Amino acid sequence: MRAAAVAAIASAPPETPRTAPAKGYSGKNLGRTVTMEELDRAAKAASPQSGGGGDGMTSDADMISMYVRASLIQLHTPDSMRGRVSSVSMIFISASNELGEFESGVTAAWLGPAARGGPLLTAADASLVQQQALLAALEATPSTVPRLLVTHHPVETAGPHGQGGLFPDSAYGLHPEPLRRAISHGVFAGALSGRDRNISASADIFDAVKRSSRFWLPHPMFQVVSGATAHPDGSASGGRRSWLYYQSQSLMPDLFSNRAGFAELIVGPETYAAQLHQRRRGRWRAAQIEVPRERPPHPVETPSPVMDPCLRCDPLRPNQ
């Protein structure tokens, strides 16, 4: 018996309908401030014209120069002056960001709000209004038929698109408020998503949302992610996307792979079965988790995972 009803809500244009997966890891990205330069480099690296390479060499050189400058201050400053010189250096580094924000605020206050009514902005507003109306209708009409959320951006992801990752745009706290409210009210039994170049399956994203967005979901919700297969993170072309430091701080899913492959969701009369298929070293491998269709709401008090961002702090299961 397959799913009888699917609520499709697209938060962005799809990339590739199938996946990319493989080798599991347990690291989480340490929280850090993302500068506009990093966002520009990330956008260029993700654009089709750049072929995924973007400003990789430029960003690597910038990172090396930052460490060289910091090392020179420590090595070539007299001991009696090292603390004061380091303080002055940090003041100028920090002040440059604050002055830039001040300039942006003054300019915005002077020029006023952006003009509305352009074709792209009008289409985006209409799409959000339509999404909000659909979600409100779903909340107002409870159904015994399971509802699945189909969206380009995952609700939570442990890959580079998750909270604290290299391209942070897929986390519960980053979704529109109407969608967050619908998830919190238990409108959807589970979610099918793409975006990240991996495949994963989680029986319940409850703990993952706790860590990344500091929100306690009242109702359980499973998730299956099947991202792009053209350039999986586990391949040689994955680049920085596969580095441990650039992964999300979200909790690792029950099943995870960043090799080429695909995910399959089978809706049975009593359970949901999420199957992941990955191809590695010329062989296909598969793993599966089963989730009961009828699950009670979460209790008021529940144990929590490690809540701070960390590297290699989540235990790996044998199938990862």
Q: Is the Cβ–Cβ distance between 37 and 66 less than 8 Å? A: no
pLDDT of residue 96: 73
From CA 89, how far away is CA 70, in angstroms rounded?
9
pLDDT of residue 183: 93
pLDDT of residue 205: 93
**pTM of the complete model:** 0.60
pLDDT of residue 75: 83
pLDDT of residue 154: 92
Q: Is the Cβ–Cβ distance between 153 and 165 less than 8 Å? A: no
pLDDT of residue 307: 78
What share of residues in the chain are helix, strand, coil (percent, to 5)?
Answer: 35, 15, 50
Distances (CA, A) of 237 to 52, 61, 215, 303, 320: 8, 19, 35, 39, 21
Q: Is the Cβ–Cβ distance between 14 and 154 less than 8 Å? A: no
pLDDT of residue 3: 35
Closest CA to 306 of 319, 316, 315, 298: 315
Strands of the sheet containing 190-193, edge to edge, are: 7-8, 148-151, 190-193, 222-226, 199-202, 255-257
Show pLDDT as tens, one digit a residue, over the chain (320 residues): 333 333 333 333 444 333 333 333 333 333 444 455 555 665 555 554 444 444 567 777 777 887 787 788 888 888 888 888 888 887 877 777 778 788 888 887 887 666 555 665 677 677 778 888 888 888 888 888 889 999 989 999 888 888 888 888 888 988 889 999 999 999 999 999 988 888 899 999 999 998 888 899 999 999 999 887 667 777 766 677 778 778 888 888 999 888 888 889 999 999 999 999 988 888 899 999 999 999 999 998 888 887 776 666 665 544 44
pLDDT of residue 303: 85
pLDDT of residue 44: 58
pLDDT of residue 2: 36
From CA 92, how far away is CA 175, in angstroms rounded?
35
Closest CA to 253 of 284, 229, 218, 221: 221
pLDDT of residue 48: 47
